[in-house]
Amino acid sequence: MPNAIITAVSGFVPDQVLSNVDLEKIMDTSDDWIISRTGIKERRVMPPDQAVTRIGTECVQSILSQRDIDPDSIDLVICATCTADYIIPDSANSICSESGLNKAYGFDLNAACSGFVYALHTAAQFIKSGTHQRIIVVGAEKLTSYMNYEDRTTSIIFGDGGGAVLVESSEEEGIGVIDAELRGDGTGREVLRIDAGGSLNPVTQERLDKKAHTVFQDGRQVFKRAVQGMTSSMLEVMKRNELTNDDIRWVVPHQANLRIISAVANQLDFPMERVMVNIDKYANTSAGTIPLCLWEYESQMKKGDGIMLTAFGGGFTWGSLFLRWAY
């Protein structure tokens, strides 16, 4: 069975910065409160006329040029997102067309903030089965389209951006995606959701007036479940693969809140120096956070390094994936 290895990574964030100080001007909050409760200093905002397709296309084009790859050799693009440009069509197909991937097909995968881990696991199955040779997995979001800036507890934590990885088939042993533990619990929809805009509650003026098309969450409930979910799924993968902390060079957590990340590291007795963190700059970009971390830390990873991805998101969805870096 071939291995599914990551051979390139890219990231993209828009230029516009929305800092905590900017937020102080439009709501009753403070830079100190946001930093101390979340670790976030600023986030990025996509322009009104651009969304997930633009982020994904930038990332795909970067991967193609970095490796001088023939666009026709890409079989599939999976775009992990919960903020696609449109309800129909999906963003992945638009990304394929915009990037000149004439022979690829694409589909979106919505597992909220766990989307990238779910999508990478899915891509690995296609590669390991032998049916696909080259897949690009994108994790990208434009969450600022779904913020209610009158809700100071939720709107401060989200931002726009994303990244992508190239997943290829390889016969080399000991590298690539090794194992994943993915979980879900649909009862979580009560505490983290967007009520309107889907088929159950289509957009009406009344729902718009109530801001029902924006993200609602019970932050404390989500916080607790995120720590539990990320910790337990990581421990499960470690147990199944007889891994100790020493076998993991880097933990790459979904960037939801620095206190969630620290609590998970603390429960596993894992040193923060080996945990990738960039929430201060980009905030929570949902499915975008993990590839954005891989992109920023790329030069620090070495071939064979054990890398543990872990995420938690709306649904609830959660999971961890262990891989060995391939370059």
CB of 218 to ligand COA, least distance (A): 8
User: Which of the following is catalytic: 254, 257, 278, 293?
Assistant: 254
Mask: binding to ligand COA, 85-124, rule CB under 6 A, as x and -? ----------------------------x-----------
User: Which of the following is catalytic: 113, 132, 213, 293?
Assistant: 113
Mask: binding to ligand COA, 224-263, rule CB under 6 A, as x and -? --x-----------------------------xx------
For ligand COA, give the closer residue by CB, 67 or 220.
220
SS3 assignment, position 124: helix
**DSSP string across 30-84:** -HHHHHHHH---EEE---TT--HHHHHHHHHHHHHHHHT--GGG--EEEEE-SS-
**Separation CA 244–CA 311 (nearest Å):** 19
Give yes or no for residue 184 binding ligand COA (CB under 6 A).
Answer: no
Q: Shortest CA distance to 302 belongs to which of 171, 175, 136?
A: 175
CB of 88 to ligand COA, least distance (A): 26
What is the total residue count of the chain? 327
Which uninterrupted H or E stretch holds 137?
A: strand 134-142
Q: Which of 128, 152, 183, 274 binds ligand COA (CB under 6 A)?
A: 152
Give yes or no for residue 220 binding ligand COA (CB under 6 A).
Answer: yes
Beta bridge partners of 313: 317
Phi/psi of residue 305, nearest 5 degrees: -60, 135
For ligand COA, give the closer residue by CB, 223 or 297.
223
Residue of closest CB approach to ligand COA: 219
241 catalytic, yes or no?
no
**Separation CA 214–CA 86 (nearest Å):** 15
Phi/psi of residue 269, nearest 5 degrees: 60, 40
Angle at the Cα of 69 from the Cα atoms of 65 and 70, rounded to 5 degrees: 120
Strands 76-80 and 134-142: parallel
For ligand COA, give the closer residue by CB, 71 or 219.
219
Report 260-289 residues binding ligand COA (CB under 6 A).
284
**Separation CA 235–CA 241 (nearest Å):** 10
284 catalytic, yes or no?
yes
293 catalytic, yes or no?
no
Beta bridge partners of 44: 17
CB of 302 to ligand COA, least distance (A): 30
Q: Which two tokens stand for residue 41?
A: 């200093």
Give yes or no for residue 313 binding ligand COA (CB under 6 A).
Answer: yes
Give yes or no for residue 37 binding ligand COA (CB under 6 A).
Answer: yes
Q: In this chain, which stretch among 11-19, 86-94, 152-160, 294-302 interacts with ligand COA, using CB under 6 A?
A: 152-160
Contacts with ligand COA, residue ranges (CB under 6 A): 29, 33-34, 37-38, 113, 152-153, 156-157, 217, 219-220, 222-223, 226, 256-257, 284, 312-313
Residues with a catalytic annotation lie at 113, 254, 284
